[in-house]
Amino acid sequence: MTEGRANGASETTTVKGELVFAALGGLGEIGMNAYLYGLGEARARRWLMVDLGLTFPGVEEPGVDVVLPNLKFIAQHRKQLAGLVLTHAHEDHIGAVIDLWPRIGCPIYATPFTAGMLRSKTTEFGNKIKLPITEVQIGTKFKVGPFDCEFINLAHSIPEPSGLVLRTPHGNVFHTGDWKLDSDPLVGAPSDHARLAELGEEGIHAMVCDSTNAMREGRSPSEIEVAASLTKIIKGAKRRVAVTTFASNVARIRAVADAAEATGRKLVVVGRAMHRVIQVAIDTGYLPADFTYLDQNQYGFLQPAETLCLCTGSQGEPRAALARIAEEEHPQVAFNKGDLVIYSSRTIPGNEKSVGRVQNLLASLGCNIVTDADALVHVTGHPRREELRQMYGWIRPKVAIPMHGEARHMVEHAKLARECGVKDTQVVTSGQLVRLAPGQAAVIDKIPVGRLYRDGRLIIEGNEESPVRERRRLAMSGIVVAALMLGKKGELIGEPDCIIDGVPFETGAGDSMEDVVLDAVDGTLESIPPARRKDVELVRDAVRRAVRAAVAQEWGKKPVVKVIVTRVG
């Protein structure tokens, strides 16, 4: 399939049955957004997917690179999947597309900036995949199977965030995506208030709406305020300054570039992801064609007082630029005592330890650190309660479904929606199938959901059989491997051997833990009659249980135990 632009070509479909909604991720969590809308009778529904994002692993998922939604349900119905519509280019909304698109194989619809970001990501995978992307301008109406769609311009912390209107015979749905109300977002147009009000007049049956800041009262500050604050802070710095932020925040990139110009500093961009976003922003007109900056290779030629670095790694990512600098392992960039590091971002829940580790390393180098707790260096891209009230005042939906939030965020959002006059609110979790119309909204079924892990070059299931489960056990209690060789009559040949990893080498009495293991092996073999030792599985299981018990008695913890039994003859 080739890329093209939306032409509004229609698909003639007689629609019966119901309008339904479900999430494969994104409800009850922040991240991994993947939503489904279904139209028609249960056995013949056409489906539309909105967003296909990822989330990042926590401490309970050691070794995992990223976490992806399990598409088992929609992959089984891929022939009925009309398309995938992307609301914007954040990783939690498009990050799983390249990994998982082959499982669904449908057309993709996105605005030019989002399409550009998605294409640029394919280069990281060696351009091995060609995505059938149709570009759609914000404000354009387009057809995806039986769904009449329209992108509505909203503000967020990335260019071209789009609310999505779905017009169906069972009523209209407004899927907000991520948004806020910002009168001057610095890059891109502000939210289209007039069009939102028109939607309310047209009639919206259901609104599926961002819940991230539903617990925070007031309104979100503007990007223009952050830009002014950053310039003021940088102007007062005497040595080099580094700003770390989300690579996708083009408005923040521009604000830092403007601050560099206003303070007579040279902008140095450090981090591959930042370079990629800047190029896409230039290509799509969100940064000027003559936008100039220095590469990290030129960093060493600058004096500290003339240097302003823009770095990736605001979330403590171990391979990002800022972590490598803090660990003094970056090949071109180093910070010193008195340098200023500004965290122009918020810490995503779950990343606190990673961010704290990098900040402590920077502090050990003598750097001064400024976060959003110290000054106005970051604003959220999501609506606070007053903005939500204004949106409900415009849209006036009959049904409200909170999305993009943990349980507490969605519950508070539902309460606010009821205060705004929405009588039918549905707080649902991923996997619950909701009938939106006809009739009152209700959960009518469940669909399979789960997690997939990108683990190196492989995509693996996140179930109980996953190797990640075993890694968790290894991280908690280490491993003991015992090896022994038996002859054809069950006699022991040679001496048993063992390897201990992640387990204390000595007991509390100072004895060798290896001796504890080997004594357990010897004792177990002696207790098994030679004739029964011919049963390898019996020997392996008996030795495993004995070794585990012996180590537990000395250590108080039960390690993972593996036993290798070799038969000779």
pLDDT digit string, tens, across residues 335-394? 999 999 999 999 987 789 999 999 999 999 999 999 999 999 999 999 999 999 999 999
Q: Quote the percentage of the chain above a pLDDT of 90.
A: 85
What is the second-level CATH architecture of the domain 223-370?
A: 3-Layer(aba) Sandwich (3.40)
pLDDT digit string, tens, across residues 188-205? 999 999 999 999 999 999
pLDDT band at 318 (very low <50, low <70, confident <90, very high): confident
pLDDT digit string, tens, across residues 57-81? 877 888 889 999 999 999 999 999 9
Show me where the domains of the chain are located: 19-218+380-461, 223-370, 478-567
* 223-370 matches 19-218+380-461 in CATH topology: no
- Which of 404 and 463 is assigned the larger pLDDT? 404
List the single range of 109-118, 346-355, 520-529, 552-561 with lowest mean pLDDT: 346-355
> DSSP code of 27?
B
Given a contact cutoff of 8 angstroms between Cβ atoms, the answer to whether 158 and 88 are in contact is yes
Can you give the pLDDT at residue 10? Answer: 41
**How far does the chain reach from its first CA to its final CA, in angstroms?**
60
Residue with tokens 């789960």: 450
pLDDT average, residue stretch 552-556: 96
- What backbone phi and psi angles, to 5 degrees, belong to 4? -160, -170
CA 228 vs CA 57, 232, 307, 378: distances in Å? 35, 6, 19, 11
pLDDT band at 124 (very low <50, low <70, confident <90, very high): confident
**How is residue 341 written in tokens?**
């590091």
**Pairwise CA distance, residues 500 & 497, whole Å:** 10
Strand partners, 308: 241, 267
pLDDT average, residue stretch 287-306: 95
19-218+380-461 is a CATH 3.60.15.10 domain: yes
pLDDT band at 240 (very low <50, low <70, confident <90, very high): very high
121 Cβ neighbours under 8 A, 6+ residues apart: 94, 97, 98
Q: Where are the strands (E) in 28-170, listed by range?
A: 34-40, 46-50, 66-69, 81-85, 108-110, 133-135, 141-144, 147-153, 162-168
pLDDT average, residue stretch 434-455: 95
Can you give the pLDDT at residue 3? Answer: 44
Q: Quote the percentage of the chain above a pLDDT of 70.
A: 97
Surface-to-core class of residue 323, CB atoms within 10 Å of its CB (0-12 exposed, 13-18 middle, 19+ buried): buried
CA 381 vs CA 103, 186, 210: distances in Å? 31, 13, 11
Residue 151 three-state SS: strand
- Which of 325 and 126 is assigned the larger pLDDT? 325
Report the predicted TM-score, pTM, of the whole model to 2 decimal places. 0.89
pLDDT band at 499 (very low <50, low <70, confident <90, very high): very high
| Alpha helices in 366-406, H assignment, sequence order | 385-395
Which residue, among 158, 78, 153, 81, has the nearest Cα to 118 in the 3D structure? 158
pLDDT average, residue stretch 162-170: 97
**How is residue 257 written in tokens?**
């570039």
pLDDT average, residue stretch 105-128: 90
Decide if pLDDT at 12 tops 50.
Answer: no
Mean pLDDT of the chain: 93
Can you give the pLDDT at residue 206? Answer: 98
Other C-beta atoms closer than 10 Å to the C-beta of 509 total 6
Residue with tokens 């996953």: 466
pLDDT average, residue stretch 433-455: 95
Which residue, among 397, 51, 385, has the nearest Cα to 196 in the 3D structure? 397
What is the second-level CATH architecture of the domain 478-567?
A: Roll (3.10)
* 438 cis-preceded (ω within 30 degrees of 0): yes
